[in-house]
Amino acid sequence: MSEITFKGLNHITLRVNNIEKAEQFYGEILGFKVEKKMGRNMTVYRIGNDTLVIVEAETEYQPGSKDYRVDHFGFFVDTPEQVDQLAEIFREHEVTILSGPSNRKTGRFVFISDPDGNMIEICNEKKS
């Protein structure tokens, strides 16, 4: 199996129905500090060494139809090459790859699905 060691949980992303209400709850009520905004529909909070991301659901908000769920969680690895190595291992074991491996401004990532459909991100982030 993989000789790559995961470095820890990178983040949890929650899907919310109304970004403004969620920002009020997490920012004003719980007092979490915004690390960055990513467009109008995503806010990143840093809580100690951990990261919480909230993202507005892509479906239109209907008061009677709520979309409550964890969107995905992510794990750190040491290098961009390890992201690619894991993608190859995932292919060998017929793990569903949802997206990637691909580059973005902050590093390299791949999204996979576990057997129950939970989305997992494996990422390497460039040092600031």
Domains of the chain, CATH where assigned: 8-58+69-125 (3.10.180.10)
Q: How confident is the model at residue 28 (pLDDT cuts 50, 70, 90)?
A: confident
pLDDT at 62: 59
Nearest CA to 69 out of 88, 54, 83 is that of 54
Summarised one tens digit per residue, pLDDT across range 62-91 is: 556 555 577 788 888 899 999 999 999 889
**pTM surpassing 0.95?**
no
Average pLDDT over residues 20-43: 88
